[in-house]
Amino acid sequence: MAHLLSTSSSLKISPGHKPYCQLLNPVQISFPTSLTFQTSKSAFKRLVFQGDSRGKCFKVQATAVPVSQEVSAKSNSGPHQSSNESSKPQRVMVVGGDGYCGWATALHLSKKGYEVAIVDNLVRRLFDHQLGLDSLTPISSIHNRIRCWKDITGKTIELYIGDICDFEFLSDTFKSFEPDAVVHFGEQRSAPYSMIDRSRAVFTQQNNVIGTLNVLFAIKEYREQCHLVKLGTMGEYGTPNIDIEEGYITITHNGRTDTLPYPKQASSFYHLSKVHDSHNIAFTCKAWGIRATDLNQGVVYGVRTDETSMHAELCNRFDYDGVFGTALNRFCVQAAVGHPLTVYGKGGQTRGYLDIRDTVQCVELAIANPAQPGEFRVFNQFTEQFSVNQLAALVTKAGGKLGLDVQTISVPNPRVEAEEHYYNAKHTKLIELGLKPHLLSDSLLDSLLNVAIKFKDRVDEKQIMPSVSWRKIGVKPKTVKA
């Protein structure tokens, strides 16, 4: 697989040394669509770190304050384990902590007093390089982000750079960090990316399914009591013509009744990987007594949380392109640059949505109220549902108030999906645990549009239109033209 990566680093750097990475032997390949990128057979094999190379894990700790202050920061009161255990703060490993949801969550948990470690192989940044994409907002390197957080708050976030598909690396991180909870965001998360060609479909399923399987084995082997909080997606359910329940449905069939996993109807190779993850997790809860929460998340919008707004270096990513951009974020960028909002097909596609500030809240609630040993708990994590046409209308109205002339066009739907359908998904369990939703209001849309306007010079309009078709999926790896 030309673009596949082996990203685990076997180096340990000492504090103060700055790591840097170099992509070597780039292989230019031709893609019959409208983008260009370069890829490398061993893109991260020459991830080079200045420092010594003894251990297996590459672990970085921000060291911006003296050790004495570090100790006092660690002793701050915060979320602690239950009284029959020690009084240490809970230790949370955030897999995928350099990504959109993971970065915001890592900061939020750190601020709340959890001991946090980020585990990430930085592959998301590599996808951008490969496809010629970029976040609308400028984002700092993970190392600078963590140093900045330490400077501002005095709080340490540990960093392990590596691939969770590499079990040796993952084992080392478990043994070193000893998590009480693992929040698993670390997957290839774009449906269009998984539909580019055979290579990306295989990569997505291999990366996601094996990564999750490794996390399950690591918990079983090293931290049996550790609570797994796994990010699934509402897309696993598809769009059935009945109400969507939270994980399970009670069915009476031929006079007998049972409560069974809610049927899954995934609509891309990415969504299928998430369904398989859910099955693997459910099975290991039953077989090994693992405690797990599957958060079937809706589409996330927004860029700011209380913590990421604290400094420009902490700024989160904001994807608007046709591969990684999510609907509402993309519409705001389109409105800001005067590009018509691109509604796919009839625009009746309805999904659950939530503010990134609620993503971090939901994860914290799940950690603070863990599943029982052997329990496979499923929460539908979204706060409101909208059709694509409704979102376009909201952005048009909000744009008008800011003096933007917002137009909407319908483009041929690149996906295979129902464009008009029934949709009513339950989402009460997180509310019952205490979620206070940030609903999509005029003021939020104003602020999202203002972020888009602020960075509109960074928008690459060539990336806005859909570039991946479900029906014309390529067999060979594609290279795209600039």
Ligand X SMILES: NC(=O)c1ccc[n+]([C@@H]2O[C@H](COP(=O)([O-])OP(=O)(O)OC[C@H]3O[C@@H](n4cnc5c(N)ncnc54)[C@H](O)[C@@H]3O)[C@@H](O)[C@H]2O)c1
d(CA 115, CA 292): 20
Which region, judged by CB under 6 A, interacts with ligand X, from 29-37, 117-125, 151-159, 368-376? 117-125
CA separation, residue 415 to residues 95, 195, 238 (Å) = 29, 9, 13
Cα within 13 Å of Cα(373), Cβ side: 10
The CB-of-377 to ligand X minimum distance in angstroms stands at 17
| Cβ closest to ligand X, residue 170 vs residue 449 | 170
The CB-of-161 to ligand X minimum distance in angstroms stands at 9
- Estimate to the nearest angstrom the gap between the alpha carbon of 355 and the chain centroid: 13
Q: Which of 296, 313, 297, 191 is nearest to 248 (CA)?
A: 296
Looking at residues 301 to 340 of the shown chain, list those that interact with ligand X (rule: CB under 6 A). 326
Round to the nearest angstrom and report the end-to-end CA distance of the chain. 22
Which region, judged by CB under 6 A, interacts with ligand X, from 27-35, 86-94, 161-169, 242-250? 161-169
The CB-of-163 to ligand X minimum distance in angstroms stands at 4
Looking at residues 216 to 255 of the shown chain, list those that interact with ligand X (rule: CB under 6 A). 231, 233
d(CA 164, CA 197): 23
Residue by residue, DSSP assigns 211-238 as: HHHHHHHHHHHH-TTPEEEEEEEGGGT-
| Cβ closest to ligand X, residue 131 vs residue 404 | 131
Pick one of 101, 183, 215, 366: the residue that binds ligand X (CB under 6 A): 101
| Cβ closest to ligand X, residue 96 vs residue 370 | 96
Q: How many residues does the chain have?
A: 482
Catalytic residue ranges: 233, 270, 274
| Cβ closest to ligand X, residue 70 vs residue 163 | 163
124 binds ligand X (CB under 6 A): yes
The CB-of-130 to ligand X minimum distance in angstroms stands at 13
Tokens describing residue 120: 């990430």
| Cβ closest to ligand X, residue 21 vs residue 404 | 21
Question: Is the Cβ–Cβ distance between 335 and 453 less than 8 Å?
Answer: no
Which region, judged by CB under 6 A, interacts with ligand X, from 133-141, 158-166, 423-431, 442-450? 158-166
Question: Virtual CA dihedral for 38, 40, 44, 45, nearest 10 degrees?
Answer: -160
Looking at residues 203 to 222 of the shown chain, list those that interact with ligand X (rule: CB under 6 A). 207, 211
Sequence-ordered alpha helix ranges (H) in 289-355 = 327-337
Size of the site for ligand X (CB under 6 A): 27
107 binds ligand X (CB under 6 A): no
Question: Is the Cβ–Cβ distance between 280 and 248 less than 8 Å?
Answer: no
Pick one of 47, 62, 109, 122: the residue that binds ligand X (CB under 6 A): 122
d(CA 244, CA 231): 18
121 binds ligand X (CB under 6 A): yes
| Cβ closest to ligand X, residue 325 vs residue 347 | 325
d(CA 310, CA 52): 33
133 binds ligand X (CB under 6 A): no
d(CA 147, CA 156): 8
The residue number whose beta carbon is nearest to ligand X equals 99
Looking at residues 165 to 184 of the shown chain, list those that interact with ligand X (rule: CB under 6 A). 165
Residue with tokens 């339950």: 426
| Cβ closest to ligand X, residue 40 vs residue 70 | 40
Pick one of 31, 149, 185, 203: the residue that binds ligand X (CB under 6 A): 185
Residue numbers of the site for ligand X (CB under 6 A)? 96, 98-102, 120-124, 163-165, 185-189, 207, 211, 231, 233, 297, 299-300, 326
